[in-house]
Amino acid sequence: MKILIAGLGLIGGSFALALREHGLADEILGVESSEEHAAQALELGLADRIVPFAEGIDEAELVVLATPVDTIPLLAVKALNRATDRKIVMDMGSIKAELCEVVSQHARRGRFVAVHPMWGTEYSGPRAAQRDAFRGRNTVICDADRSDPDALETVERIFRTLGCPIIRMESEEHDLHAAYVSHISHVTSFALANTVLEKEREEHRIFDLAGGGFESTVRLAKSSAQTWVPILLRNKYNVLDVLREHIHQLQLLRRMIERDDAEGLAAAIRRANSIQKIIR
């Protein structure tokens, strides 16, 4: 299968490595807006050739959109405009409702599959690509009933070959859950990093005192603004809803600390401990 990947950064690049490892691609074509990233992608073997987007669509059997989420809807429409009954277009973005709405009335909507592998790191660009990145990671397919059966089967087969359990979900439901399990984590990390940087002006002391707890909590603050500004703004209503509850929980903890409420703090912490039943 000849596959076009638009965006050869963390997600697209890791997908390219996984396709090669499992022998799923005869040739990988890449699309990159950055000349530096294009050169890195070729150097790292993430793509066999870098091509213009339109040319790649015409050549490829599978078109993969792994660019920032604010660019995906337009690229999806452009790809579907050139799609045939045998070509498949899929995305790998973390926002789905807006995208699925944009393509919902397209004559070739059935050739599109909305995909979100639940994996990522704080790094970006082709050099962030990792081998075996998706194994064991849930992969969400949204609005599956709107995709043609053969397109859906092909995409699901690829991810099962990569070792990914498949979950089907409606796009609006996906965006709400993504706000809770992913987007709020990044907002919290950005806020914590800025809090520490604001209060601790002598930065070397941060590194002197930072332990594993701080490092793990603030790790996501290294994530790219190019990636996360579009995500937070495109999913703003879900993110704002989660933020309201998050701020409420912070205020509860603050009041308990102000009042020396040891019993209340202990109860809140024990309740938080129950998350281990979900995340091990």
Domain residue limits at 132? 2-169
Q: Does residue 25 share a domain with residue 133? A: yes
Residues 36 and 165 in one domain: yes
Within this chain, do residues 75 and 179 fall inside the same structural domain, yes or no?
A: no
Determine the pLDDT at residue 278.
59
CATH number at residue 241: 1.10.3660.10
pLDDT at residue 5 in the model: 98
Residues 197 and 213 in one domain: yes
Domain match, 128 and 196 both: no
Is residue 92 domain-shared with residue 120, that is, in the same domain? yes
Instruction: Kindly give the parts of the chain with pLDDT less than 70.
Output: 200-212, 277-280
* Domain end residue (candidates: 151, 169, 187): 169
Nearest to 54 by CA among 74, 68, 36: 74
pTM above 0.85, yes or no: yes
164 in the same domain as 212 = no
Alpha carbon separation from 194 to 121, 149, 182, 211 (Å, rounded): 20, 47, 19, 17
10 Å CB burial of residue 162 (0-12, 13-18, 19+) is buried
pLDDT of residue 172: 97
| Statement to judge: residues 226 and 138 lie in one domain | no
Q: What CATH number corresponds to the domain at position 50? A: 3.40.50.720
Q: Single out the residue in 152, 169, 186 at which a domain terminates.
A: 169
Q: What pLDDT does 206 receive?
A: 66
According to DSSP, the β-strands at 139-142 and 112-117 are antiparallel
112-140 pLDDT, tens digit each: 999 999 998 888 999 999 999 999 999 99
**Final residue in a domain of this structure, among 148, 169, 190:** 169
Q: How many domains does the chain have?
A: 2
What pLDDT was estimated at residue 92? 97
Q: Answer for the pair 175, 96: CB distance below 8 angstroms, yes or no.
A: yes
